[in-house]
Homo-oligomer: A and B are copies of this chain.
Amino acid sequence: MVVAKGLIEEFPLAPFVRRLQLHSSLSEADIEALRALPCTIEDRPKHAHLVREGMETRRTAILMTGFAHRYRVTSEGTRQILTIYVQGDPVDLDHLFLPEADDAVQTLQSSSVAFVARQAMRDLMSKHRAIADAIIRSLLVDSSIFREWTLNIGRRDARKRIAHFLCEIATRLEAQGIDPATSQLPLTQDHIADATGLTAVHVNRTLSAMRAEGLIGRKGALVLVPDGTALQQIADFDPRYLHIRAPDPSSAVAG
């Protein structure tokens, strides 16, 4: 049975499907199977933990709206943010295959989260080869992003690091159909510091300088500038590591 476009828009996991389609092409049958995947949508407040270190989980979480971040903490208590999750991102696919979580995932603002039973997801993967591949590809892209962060923190100065970090988020939001120039990022300067391996004070000074040059938007709430070309140049940003493929018109989920 073919599903009309209008209907597809409605189904709960649509942002997730869109996310998978960023890297993989799915047939109508695959999409239909994802549509039928049982899940529960729950709202979570700001700063809620979706995953905690050492936790064992029976279900896997997918971010439907809002933002979250994954982090680890040193024995001295300093935090390193490891990645930012945006709409449509599965946040803990690791748990489908690894027995215990090695880091924590926390919402950045009140968010809506889809939970899928671990076994249901695995069954789906074994029944639909293309979905299994799409999920593996999703893991690999995440992995590529982690590596880019290592490069970013290890080999770029504060200005470039922050610029690169912002470029990545903007690009990923855009790929998910969200305009980064209008949507405020719920990131404090502390978050940016912990994501880039800097201190909040230094992030503040660097951001001020960048704002003065018009590289990023207004003070207070962080807003990205409409045309990020200048920012990308500073950041040495090459989006290839995100592996976002040209949109495939034949299997579009979003209008």
Q: Give the B-binding residues of A (Cβ under 8 A).
A: 23, 70, 72, 74-76, 78-80, 82-83, 94, 97-98, 100, 102-103, 126, 129, 133, 136-137, 139-144, 146-151, 153-156, 194, 196-197, 236, 238, 240-241, 243
Contacts and interface: CB of A to CB of B under 8 A. Distances in A.
Contact of A154 (B80, B97, B147): B80
Chain copies in complex? 2
A222 B147 CA distance: 26
A121 to B, nearest CB: 13
Contact of A102 (B72, B79, B153, B240): B240
Nearest to A147: B82
A139 B143 contact: yes
A135 to B, nearest CB: 9
A17 B238 CA distance: 36
B102 A136 contact: no
Contacts of A194: 154
Contact of A136 (B126, B139, B243): B139
Contacts of A196: 154
A73 to B, nearest CB: 8
Contacts of A153: 150, 153-154, 197
Contact of A236 (B76, B100, B136, B143): B76
A76 to B, nearest CB: 7
A94 B138 CA distance: 11
A80 B236 contact: no
Contact of A137 (B72, B98, B144): B98
A254 B133 CA distance: 32
A62 to B, nearest CB: 17
A139 B139 contact: yes
A147 B83 CA distance: 9
Contacts of A236: 74-76
Contacts of A133: 97
Nearest to A197: B154
B140 A72 contact: no
Contacts of A126: 129
Nearest to A53: B240
Nearest to A76: B236
B103 A147 contact: yes
